[in-house]
Chain A
Amino acid sequence: MPSLGADMDAGTVTHWLVKPGDEVHRGDIVAVVQTDKSDIEVEIFENGTIDELIVPEGERVPVGAVLARVRGVTSAGARPREPEPRPAAAVAVAPPTSPPTPIHHALVESPLVRHLAEHLGVDIATVSGSGLGGVVTRADVEHAAKAGADRAVPPSGAARRPPSSPYARRLAHELGVDLDAVSGTGPGGSVVEQDVRRAIPAAVPTQRPTSEDRQHAMQRTIGALMARSKREVPHYYLDTTIDLSAAAAWLERTNLERPVAQRLVMAALLFKATARAVARVPEMNGFYVDGTFTPSESVHLGIAISQRAGGLIAPAIHDAEQQSLDEMMNRVKDLVMRARTGVLRSSEMSDPTITVTSLGDLGVDSVLGVIYPPQVAMVGFGRVRERPWAQAGQLDVRPCVVATLSGDHRVSDGMRGSHFLTEIDHLLQEPEKL
């Protein structure tokens, strides 16, 4: 059972997506686990063959329990297969350096089918599934490969239903929408995300009703972690007010030319500036475990997302410092949507190296966060609002934001923290370079 955040001590396997004998590859989703906070898709971090599923569906086990055994780890290339089955400890922990996995995937029940598709050169995203709930089966892939060979063009699946994006299909599956009944408004009549959203039957709740028990459990687990943080982590706090006039003007100009679906919000600029500043002040980015701080080479930026009904979740945007603003914006939108109505990935939950909270939209000027152990810093942004701004003897009115840092004094100090917040400020003065 992987630790999907430091506040998790147990989880329930709700679905196995593999069975003994299935070949699995690093990054495959093998199970869905329910925690007090969310449903998480668990990825595997080794190549091999599933030997045995140890924990049955529906059973709650503590973090660290072996869920399954994987045989014949093949990631080491020429190395001979290990004779003994090895415990799938690899299922349990997502290494912080794990590469980001693609967000959108076709509804594929079995990794075997995915591999078959790879083998046959079929783009699985273009295959319409005939299995239960639109799942792509082996027969579908073989059929698509054959059709593709016959026509010498990639199969579009257009014969039976309008084309649809992989995300639209996934969303349709999650929300219980019948894609055949949806009329598409995308290019060529294709079904896009919004078409699916509009087709949600009014009577069907889009979110599984969250039980009060689960809410309480979530509050308890968050409370326990925050208590531990306040007990063990010597927090120091800094704040600075940042002039956002350059960023706001750039944003306005940029959005003017864009259709609404491609527009950016200020939060994306704030997150990107944070990720880049973190990359330059490594003491803010990493894990403090057993008296030792290990900085992370990449910035996996945790984004605190409120779950409305109560509760908070902070999944990661991987390699945030390397993403363009547009990529960052799309990732944030995707994470927010999935945190509220869908499912998150185990790697997203287990490895943020620093967290950002942007409570500002809710109206407060600043937020001083509690650090999520084993992380060592939490950045907060308040509401963007106009303030009087004195500069060079002149008084002006400018859009401003209060940026705060909660830092871990075992790893950094006020000087380094100040350097970090100042760096965020500098980066936001040249938004076109973000």
Chain B
Amino acid sequence: MTSDEARDLMRSVLRPIAPEANLDDVVEGETMQEALDLDSIDFLQFVTGLAEATGLAMPERDYAQLSTVEGCVQYLTSPH
């Protein structure tokens, strides 16, 4: 997966969870939870969407990396 594809996937998974959220609003280092007002349920739905689309297990210990835009892109573009 390229980083553009990763961003597209993140956007499409995020859309039904937070229709008004814009990934471009998240500055580097900021978590999506903070920047986009995602609560724990929203974030779980986000990870669920990514896991279903990619087939990756995404254990909870990876949540920290998945919570920033750049971390998430890196996660999705790296071989697992």
Contact = CB atoms under 8 A, between A and B. Distances in A.
Which of A197, A260, A309, A361 has the most C-beta atoms of chain B within 10 angstroms of its own C-beta? A260
A260 B16 contact: no
Interface string A189-205: 00010100110101001
A309 B20 contact: yes
Q: Kindly state the interface size class of chain A when it binds its partner.
A: 20 to 34
A263 B60 contact: yes
Given A263-B60, A266-B40, A333-B45, A205 B51 contact: no
Which of B13, B16, B37, B45 has the most C-beta atoms of chain A within 10 angstroms of its own C-beta? B16
A105 to B, nearest CB: 20
Q: Kindly state the interface size class of chain B when it binds its partner.
A: 20 to 34
A97 interface: no
A259 B60 contact: no
A150 B34 CA distance: 57
Given A185-B52, A198-B53, A260 B39 contact: no
Interface of A is mostly: helix
A308 B20 contact: yes
Nearest to A260: B51
Given A197-B16, A206-B19, A308-B18, A260 B48 contact: yes
Contacts of A198: 12-13, 49, 53
A263 B44 contact: yes
B41 interface: yes
B25 to A, nearest CB: 14
B20 A259 contact: no
A98 interface: no
Interface in B24-44: 33-34, 37-42, 44
B50 to A, nearest CB: 8
Which of A175, A185, A198, A205 has the most C-beta atoms of chain B within 10 angstroms of its own C-beta? A198
Given A197-B13, A265-B40, A341-B19, 9 more contacts: A198-B13, A206-B19, A255-B60, A261-B51, A308-B20, A333-B44, A337-B45, A362-B37, A362-B39
30 contacts: A175-B16, A192-B52, A197-B49, A198-B49, A200-B12, A200-B15, A202-B12, A202-B15, A205-B19, A206-B15, A206-B16, A255-B60, A260-B47, A260-B58, A261-B51, A263-B44, A265-B44, A308-B19, A308-B20, A332-B41, A333-B41, A333-B44, A336-B42, A337-B45, A340-B19, A361-B38, A361-B40, A362-B37, A362-B39, A363-B34
Interface of B: 12-13, 15-20, 33-34, 37-42, 44-45, 47-49, 51-53, 57-60
List the 5 shortest-distance A-B pairs measured between CB atoms, nearest first: A361-B39, A265-B40, A260-B51, A194-B52, A197-B16
Interface of A: 175, 185, 192, 194, 197-198, 200, 202, 205-207, 252, 255-256, 259-261, 263, 265-267, 306, 308-309, 332-333, 336-337, 340-341, 358, 361-363
